[in-house]
Amino acid sequence: MSNKDDDIIALEKQYFQGMVDQDQAIVTKLTASDAIVAGPQGVMAVKGAKMGEMMDGGETALKAFEMRDVHVIFPAENVAIIGYNIEMRFDHKGEQMDLVFADTSTWIKGEDAWTCAQHSEAPIGDPTGGKAG
């Protein structure tokens, strides 16, 4: 991996650590002013300032994470796309949940810094818990 790859991986880890630490300032700083987030609950467009606020008051909190099988590409000098598998430990209403996702993020380099403009996650495994016929 190149130094550029390492920089993007470090930013992605910093973003997740901000969620673990409930650090609204870092999550807001690392989110583009307009961003798209997609996951099991659907897709939404968000303003960067709202991303930090979305961490407040939920019944589920990220407690730990580990990224694996990380890939980074640069389709343009100011655009980086990172994809990886991630193991996440959550606290949901006092119960521990361990989940595995395949995630991707698109980072855009502005005048001052890289920000995340898109993040998506898909659960790995059978989403029906073996109940599909």
CB 67, CB 54: distance < 8 Å = no
Structure-block tokens of residue 118: 């898109």
Separation between Cα atoms, residue 83 and residue 120, nearest integer Å: 9
Single pTM value for the model = 0.88
Range with the lowest mean pLDDT among 12-21, 50-59, 85-94, 104-113?
50-59
> What is the arrangement of strands in the sheet containing 60-76, beginning at the earlier edge strand?
42-47, 31-39, 114-123, 95-109, 79-92, 60-76
Residue 19 belongs to what H/E stretch?
A: helix 3-20
What's the average model confidence in pLDDT over 17-44?
Answer: 92
Looking at residue 57, its pLDDT comes to 63
Please check whether residue 101 is in contact with residue 121, taking contact to mean a CB–CB distance below 8 angstroms: yes
Give the mean pLDDT of the chain: 90
| Residue 115 CB burial class (10 angstroms; 0-12, 13-18, ≥19) | buried
If you ran DSSP here, which 8-state letter would residue 111 be given?
Answer: S
